[in-house]
């Protein structure tokens, strides 16, 4: 038979997610508690829109980061030259100059800051330019706060964990690079999506995650139109069952009509 009929079951799929984002930057990891309780991570938010800057700052402060902000090009340049940050969120279009020039200045000063560009222009050119100038990630506005949190933690972890890509929360340990989950030091098999969901949840632990944000993160942009994101429920259900069966000290709560919340106490 030349015609090959294939029927896909989601739980048999191990393929790469489709996303217009840079897939290499999609590793969804989180800091272990240990790191930022000992040395609070410093983050600089460079954004000219007051309200947006405030909301980003509030959200990051909830994660116990030390957050500073700059509203224009001069202030931004002033701060990046004077201080050291673990992560810089950089808007491209700033009053007084381009965010890309800030990036250029960082490069000239040979600073190794993690930079995430946040831009209203979701253009390939901007992405390529930014990443070529040494940015670590690119996030197009509007984004979900949970996505921002996950990205920030991801870039910080990548440079500060000495190559150790491990996230720990209570009795749950995740090796992000090898995509392995240990609960009470016992390996627990997860499929790709379950793994991505769990790491995303851990990055945003104790915070309400909008179901659209979760769907967008796991299933990519293609799914954006799909009705009500009800389909994500079955994956959550499986993950929940696995966590419960293995005695993980984590609980995924559904907040009806809104999304989910990972409780880790």
Binding interface with other proteins (CB under 8 A): 2-10, 13, 15-18, 20, 49, 51-52, 55-56, 58-59, 62, 120-124, 140-146, 193, 207-208, 210, 212-213, 219-220, 222-228, 230-235, 255-259
Alpha helices in 40-165 (DSSP H): 50-62, 73-82, 99-108, 124-132, 145-160
| List of residues 6+ apart from 254 with CB closer than 8 A | 236, 260
CB of 249 to other proteins, least distance (A): 21
Q: Please identify, using beta-carbon distances, which residue of 222 and 244 lies nearer to other proteins.
A: 222
CB of 227 to other proteins, least distance (A): 5
CB of 168 to other proteins, least distance (A): 24
CB of 253 to other proteins, least distance (A): 12
Give the integer Cα–Cα distance in Å for 112 and 25.
17
Q: Which helix (H) or strand (E) holds 12?
A: none
Alpha helices in 39-117 (DSSP H): 50-62, 73-82, 99-108
CB of 212 to other proteins, least distance (A): 5
CB of 116 to other proteins, least distance (A): 14
Which has the closest alpha carbon to 133: 120, 155, 116, 153? 116
Count, residues in the chain: 265
CB of 200 to other proteins, least distance (A): 15
Answer for the pair 227, 237: CB distance below 8 angstroms, yes or no. Answer: no
Centre a 10 Å sphere on the Cβ of residue 26 and count the other Cβ atoms it contains.
18
The region, left, alpha or beta by phi > 0 then psi within -120 to 50, assigned to residue 97 is: left
Give the integer Cα–Cα distance in Å for 166 and 174.
6
């Amino acid at each position: 038979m030349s015609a090959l009929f294939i029927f896909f079951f989601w739980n048999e799929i191990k393929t790469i997610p489709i996303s217009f984002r840079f897939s290499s930057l999609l590793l969804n990891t989180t800091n272990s508690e240990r790191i930022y309780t000992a040395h609070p991570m410093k983050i600089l938010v460079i954004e000219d829109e007051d309200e947006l800057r405030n909301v980003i700052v509030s959200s990051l402060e909830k994660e116990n980061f030390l957050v500073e902000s700059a509203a224009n090009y001069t202030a931004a340049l002033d701060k990046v030259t004077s201080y050291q940050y673990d992560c810089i969120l950089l808007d491209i279009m700033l009053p007084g100059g381009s965010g890309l020039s800030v990036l250029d200045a960082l490069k000239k000063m040979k600073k190794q800051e993690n930079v995430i560009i946040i831009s209203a222009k979701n253009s390939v050119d901007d992405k390529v330019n930014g990443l070529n100038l040494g940015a670590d990630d690119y996030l197009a506005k509007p984004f979900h706060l949970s996505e921002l949190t996950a990205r920030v933690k991801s870039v910080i972890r990548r440079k500060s964990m000495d190559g150790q890509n491990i996230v720990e929360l209570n009795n749950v340990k995740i090796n992000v690079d090898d995509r392995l989950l240990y609960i009470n030091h016992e390996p627990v098999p997860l499929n790709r999506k379950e793994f991505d969901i769990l790491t995303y949840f851990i990055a945003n632990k104790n915070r309400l995650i909008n179901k659209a944000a979760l769907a967008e993160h796991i299933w990519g942009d293609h799914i954006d139109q799909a009705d009500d994101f009800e389909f994500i429920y079955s994956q959550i259900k499986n993950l929940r069952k696995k966590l419960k069966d293995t005695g993980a000290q984590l609980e995924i709560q559904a907040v009806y009509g809104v999304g989910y919340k990972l409780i880790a106490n």
